[in-house]
Amino acid sequence: MTQLPLPSPRAIHVVAHRGASHEHAEHTMAAYRQAIADGADALECDVRLTADRKLVCVHDRRVERTSDGRGVVSEMTYAQLAALDFGRWKGEEHTGARVLLFEDLLREALAADRPVGLAVETKHPTRAGGRLEAELVRVLKEYGLADGAGGRVEVMSFSRSALTRLHRLAPGLPTVYLIERAVRPPRPPFAGHAGPGIDLVRRDPGLVGRLRAKGLRVRVWTVDEPEDVELCVRLGVETIITNRPRQVREQLDGLLATR
């Protein structure tokens, strides 16, 4: 397959990892509004299903790290989660942030004064199983976003099974196969993007070229350090996922100015 052309720094998409999570508690509306203000091209979020089948933006299986409560997300109702403070961040445990419904984040992105995408990761393994992807697609269909039109939403997963389910439910929805460990990269199922972590890319920079040689676009997570941004640019990465969207965008613009 023909090697994809290298993108310029300006063409590299900057995706805010759980929002501008270096500035605000992750997965909070404040973090996402900051990311939009900082110029992020898209907002990354993790989604899980509550016991009453609400899609919420929470990374961990349990709530202890990011809230003042205890419990497993999938065993709690939305009302129980909404009673907790999810503002735990950098030692501040009571900032008043509430658990974020995915649909509220979606509306926020759509209401922005410029096109802002969503990069949604479905978390596995989970007791919800395929119900997680089914509910996500149901919500996206309500907003006319499940067919991939306009490229406003893409779904990411480390699970090949999850990507297969997504393709069956919404064949036009762009998907990203996330990669955490060094493997001989297969062609991801139904995915046009591959997403290795920055630690893996540092250890094996040639992985990016091998993925691109398969016709895959490459996004790397989570890229916060200037030297890692430069590495991604040199390797031809199309998308950078970062906790620091403003700083990364400024660095990319600076690199463009010197060319």
**DSSP H stretches of helix in 67-171:** 78-82, 102-110, 131-142, 160-169
* Chain mean position to CA 203: 22
Taking each helix axis from N to C terminus, what angle separates 29-37 and 102-110, rounded to the nearest 10 degrees?
A: 20
Q: Which long-range contacts (CB under 8 A, 24 or more apart) does 247-250 make?
A: 248/14, 248/223, 248/224, 249/14, 249/38, 249/39, 249/40
Tracing tokens 């900032």 back to the chain, one arrives at 95
How far CA 241 is from CA of 177, 204, 248, in Å, comes to: 14, 18, 9
Which residues are part of the catalytic machinery? 17, 59
* Chain mean position to CA 257: 28
Give the type of residue at 7.
P
- What the block records as the tokens of 97 is 């942030």
Strand partners, 197: 221
